[in-house]
Structure 1
């Protein structure tokens, strides 16, 4: 069974009305149609952005307190109707219900943080004018950018885009959201419930469709685009935005590594490796794809990983540990990575080529994978794990950093966790836990290299959707004023003596 979003055209009873093109969203577990959604063209996207731009000023004028009141009301609505949205997520992604619920718990916590901290982070504040400008009052303030275009992924269709949407709204912007064509129902549900608490203006709207709709959003004149998806698509988004010098925030894939030092808590490390690699069927940008374990403890670690991974079962039923591969084309990527590694001498400790049974993939744990094999270098995005022995944690760090990606990482070490974490070329590290950084609203989230740039979440995430404005105001005049053609010959010499006295020490 394969899954594609099917396009169609609805007929109209009015001869002079153009038919509305639509597409179907499908349940990846069964292929069943779960929804029908419009394909918004460039004109429709432009209308959405125009409406959002008019609404944005009204939203900004509410002030921090007014926006917080509305965002808090939305948060409470989301909490009351959590299972309703979770069911939509399950139908469109195939993930187990409790996994969808967990995702939404994180959404609610981040929304609470963004609404509650926006004023503290972004409001006007005084800064020191320094020695030379002591007669000036200096302030900096972070003002809304305007309209933010958000292009979201399908694997975490609520949590990931809300990392941009919630923070952009809290900062005073309007948002036009283009969800993945695989999960349009989640995006529409979010916008519909927001409109229940903010009915006055189209502050948060959704456009649905395929790549053309996303391209139209990039070209629509929005003030910033926040994109989450593959590195290849991220480059296309950047190129489209460059035409209008539209700034972008890009969060792409990863090949996240887990380092297991010789003094690690091995049962905890094994549990973290398996959960990080297999949860959500491995369809997690910050999921664990590689493990580098110090040779002294490798045998025991491999035993523990094998024991845990062997017990996991995918499926569409409630008791399944994880669901299907949501995007059918990814099955071929997973299969090719596993097959190539095995053909080149890797050993399968759990599963193998036979584990790929679309739309499901059973757990696969590989070792002795050639370091240049795709399974060790490219994002697999499935329930697979490559485990390799290293002589030391230092070698593990070196091999982890030998990647074009740099999103997240994990370190298990009782004595050197923080020390090792600081040497990893990534945006985020969890020490003696896995993926914990994503659940802390105050921490910035993002990567380096081919994993993208910019940050969502935390203070950095709020500032991503605001423009800093610096203001100086003259408090009193002083005798030494070098910024005039009327200055005396001695003015600059006096300034030099002043600087030498106070800055030459």
Structure 2
């Protein structure tokens, strides 16, 4: 189990041997990961990096605790997780404060996009898991003398590799679902945001989840690689497409399943009859919330040419009116960028767009301060094309490029012209048209007149198509994926079947008569088979 040395530190900063501050997410000379506030550069805390042996030990310890946990009833699991849910609600400010300091999102976003969704997801699955995982009857149309059902068993230990953009809501949601299904968990949080994971584990143990059942290991990608081969029974990974491919291969080598929640380049289509005030507000929030560092962010807008000037004007005014700054304040709308790496990607996409003729109508400034603060202004662009990286590659920053279309067919074609397929958004007053277009879009989730929020709806499965991932988290399907599905076939009464030994011509003919009579495709064919013709 990783040693946490997270907040009780006296020194003001960690330094490398040459006296400089280590790069965020890098391993210090002390063998730790040091975390600095993205908005101010102040030291938040450190965690000890796990060795390969410690990762294996963590998986073994979780497995030992899981055997006891799996034997508990759903009611007993619910009781512990309900206490965790109440702790999250009671100490929401404490959690939100740490998320703000570690991740850089605003205080409202920490509460509404991380803390409260975890409380609600826990409320939902702690009460619904037993029903969602109850035995499923399988009527057998050809073999009525048999009784079949499916039973959902815990897989054992779930390895979770989580990202830095939602360092509480993503791993906490996956962990709660794994626990309600009867599993143990070994979590490797991002090297950029490890501290909130330790707080989550402390809350779970305070709530009565057995100590050792939820393990946390810390480090960079090599620690994640060790986790996949540590003996866990399944991996749930959220992160980039490039790393997701590696996880997929590594899991296959271990013969274990994996769920991959990867990147997005999510489009919003705004039709001529849309409520433009509503569309502008929700598109802007979908693009700029969490400084655009959301896999389901609105990263492309396709607006009908007849309303493009009006919608663009509204989006520009919204972007210019957003208050950006150090996110510890309540009156800040847009916080900091979590990592310098992401700032560099956003800057590269913006420069490429400008060089190829795009116009920046709002924002466009990138500010990195000597103390470590990192900010990218909410930016609105027009004159963009699919030849630009900002319309093709995942930006993961507060950029909102706008293109026009003439026909709905063109809008659908442009929206689908991407290797990604996580979410998509359609704005129109016509519900029938929204449904028609939604079913032409290649995306794991399509929303009508809204953006982003379905990740916070625990009933809905979350995942993508194409390069956006494999499998689903959340919902009934995500919960069942955390289980082994086993089939049991029981005998109602003995039936003298014709397929047993000894084989004979008589049995051969009987088999043909029986199947022809039962599943012939016409009445004439069935009668013919019954008569042996």
By the TM > 0.5 criterion, same fold? yes
Conserved? CA contact 2:172–2:200, under 8 Å: no
Runs of 5+ consecutive residues of structure 2 not aligned to the other structure: 1-20, 523-533
* Cα drift, residue 63 of structure 1: 2.2
**What residue number does 1:110 align with?**
121
- Residue 405 of structure 1 aligns to a residue in which SS? coil
**What residue number does 2:530 align with?**
none
- Residue 406 of structure 1 aligns to a residue in which SS? coil
Question: In 2, distance between residues paired with 1:201 and 1:332?
Answer: 41
**What residue number does 1:101 align with?**
111
Conserved? CA contact 2:499–2:507, under 8 Å: no
**What residue number does 2:353 align with?**
341
Conserved? CA contact 2:168–2:197, under 8 Å: yes
- Note the 1:122-133 alignment, pairs <5 A: 122-131=133-142, 133=143
* Cα drift, residue 26 of structure 1: 1.1
* Cα drift, residue 111 of structure 1: 1.4
Runs of 5+ consecutive residues of structure 1 not aligned to the other structure: 11-20
Conserved? CA contact 1:250–1:453, under 8 Å: yes
**What residue number does 1:485 align with?**
501
- Residue 44 of structure 2 aligns to a residue in which SS? strand
Query: Does 1:407 find its partner at 2:432?
Result: no
- Note the 1:292-441 alignment, pairs <5 A: 292-317=302-327, 318=329, 319-352=331-364, 354-357=365-368, 359-415=374-430, 416-441=433-458
- Residue 296 of structure 1 aligns to a residue in which SS? coil
Conserved? CA contact 1:221–1:246, under 8 Å: no
* TM-score (norm. length: structure 1): 0.94
* Cα drift, residue 86 of structure 1: 1.0
Question: In 2, distance between residues paired with 1:150 and 1:482?
Answer: 50
- Note the 1:15-414 alignment, pairs <5 A: 21-102=31-112, 103-131=114-142, 133-198=143-208, 200-317=210-327, 318=329, 319-352=331-364, 354-357=365-368, 359-414=374-429
Question: In 2, distance between residues paired with 1:161 and 1:448?
Answer: 21
In structure 2, the CA distance between the partners of 1:112 and 1:496, relative to structure 1 (3 Å rule), is farther
Per-residue deviation, residues 319-357 of structure 1 (Å, max 9, x unmatched):
2211111011111111111111111111111123x3455
Per-residue deviation, residues 200-240 of structure 1 (Å, max 9, x unmatched):
44111111111121111011111011000111111122232
**What residue number does 1:444 align with?**
461
Question: In 2, distance between residues paired with 1:369 and 1:9?
Answer: 45
Question: In 2, distance between residues paired with 1:126 and 1:23?
Answer: 50
Conserved? CA contact 2:267–2:302, under 8 Å: yes
- Residue 185 of structure 2 aligns to a residue in which SS? strand
Conserved? CA contact 2:58–2:215, under 8 Å: yes
* Cα drift, residue 423 of structure 1: 0.8
Conserved? CA contact 2:498–2:510, under 8 Å: no
Conserved? CA contact 2:188–2:218, under 8 Å: yes
Question: In 2, distance between residues paired with 1:272 and 1:8?
Answer: 41
Per-residue deviation, residues 161-217 of structure 1 (Å, max 9, x unmatched):
233212111111100111111111110011111111235441111111111211110
* Cα drift, residue 49 of structure 1: 0.3
Per-residue deviation, residues 107-157 of structure 1 (Å, max 9, x unmatched):
1111122222211121223220222x1111111111111100000111111
**What residue number does 2:527 align with?**
none
Question: In 2, distance between residues paired with 1:240 and 1:349?
Answer: 45
- Residue 7 of structure 1 aligns to a residue in which SS? coil
- Residue 256 of structure 2 aligns to a residue in which SS? coil
* More displaced 10-residue stretch of structure 1: 162-171 or 81-90: 162-171
RMSD over aligned CA atoms reads 1.6
* Cα drift, residue 439 of structure 1: 2.3
* TM-score (norm. length: structure 2): 0.89
Conserved? CA contact 2:320–2:362, under 8 Å: yes
* More displaced 10-residue stretch of structure 1: 237-246 or 379-388: 237-246
* Cα drift, residue 6 of structure 1: 4.5
Per-residue deviation, residues 39-85 of structure 1 (Å, max 9, x unmatched):
00110011100001111111110022221121111111111111111
- Residue 35 of structure 1 aligns to a residue in which SS? strand
In structure 2, the CA distance between the partners of 1:165 and 1:200, relative to structure 1 (3 Å rule), is closer
Question: In 1, distance between residues paired with 2:498 and 2:393?
Answer: 58
Question: In 2, distance between residues paired with 1:165 and 1:97?
Answer: 23
Question: In 2, distance between residues paired with 1:442 and 1:197?
Answer: 24
* Cα drift, residue 492 of structure 1: 4.1
Question: In 2, distance between residues paired with 1:393 and 1:269?
Answer: 17
